Structure 1
């Protein structure tokens, strides 16, 4: 079901500015396990498989250069997954000798994704039942997200990394210095 947006983007002297986040990349040790976890925990749906075990793996010097992969890495599977409304997850299964653990919140670079949920306790229970680990109980958010009824909790999925569950029934607080509002997906 192809679709496109006719909405005009803002521009500067270099041309149109980005419209927004399209997808977030995630590498997992087992694509089927990850897909099952994301579906059971968060209702994720497969949009498409960009690379399957029936396809030739993406590898070699040109792939390594284009994607910043270490020598000898082989992308054997790639799947685009959608959770509700918002950016998709591009999930990779890659064979590589030199694998590093998933980033922690204190590590440099991208370190977590956040899912906006209406029933944080219910989604947390589903995530734990699907194999995730809650790092704590539901707790208050940061100051701009800490309006009444709001809460947050981090979950570690089976392959590592961090997924934040956030409930914001009363929205964000914006001070006089705010230049923009945070995008929030609509209810499903």
Structure 2
């Protein structure tokens, strides 16, 4: 995983998945750009707004994975009415276990 940061703005996270099967429709671990993730303040409210706008939830909110997040927030996958895969995530940036001396700075809302 690599994070590209843009000063005090958004970050792009790049993943290198290995030994994954490819299939249709696109899933987060497929090769190439498959989805965009958006930080939301309230994941339950965002999920409700998303479905009210005719989006489809593919998962329920679940604890964030990984060493940095270590369960300090939630994420879910969803599909827009036009078929694009999105991820919504919400977390407390003050609870991330991210090294303060890291060269790459992580975007925090």
Q: TM-score range by the shorter chain?
A: 0.5 to 0.7
Residue 96 of structure 1 is matched in structure 2 by: none
Alignment of 1:25-174 (within 5 A): 86=10, 103-143=26-66, 144-148=68-72, 150-169=73-92, 170-174=94-98
Normalised to the residue count of structure 1, the TM-score between the two structures is 0.41
CA distance in 1, matches of 2:28, 2:52: 23
Q: CA RMSD in A?
A: 3.0
Higher helix share: 1
Q: Taking structure 1 as reference, are residues 175 and 86 closer, same or farther at Cα in structure 2, changes over 3 Å only?
A: closer
CA contact (8 A) 1:112 1:164 kept: yes
CA distance in 2, matches of 1:176, 1:183: 13
CA distance in 2, matches of 1:142, 1:125: 23
CA contact (8 A) 2:43 2:88 kept: yes
Quote the offset at 1:102 in angstroms. 6.6
Quote the offset at 1:177 in angstroms. 8.7
CA distance in 1, matches of 2:75, 2:98: 18
Instruction: Report which of the two structures shows the higher radius of gyration computed on alpha carbons.
Output: 1
Aligned residue pairs: how many? 91
Residue 182 of structure 1 is matched in structure 2 by: 106
CA distance in 2, matches of 1:152, 1:142: 9
CA distance in 2, matches of 1:183, 1:19: 7
CA contact (8 A) 2:10 2:107 kept: no
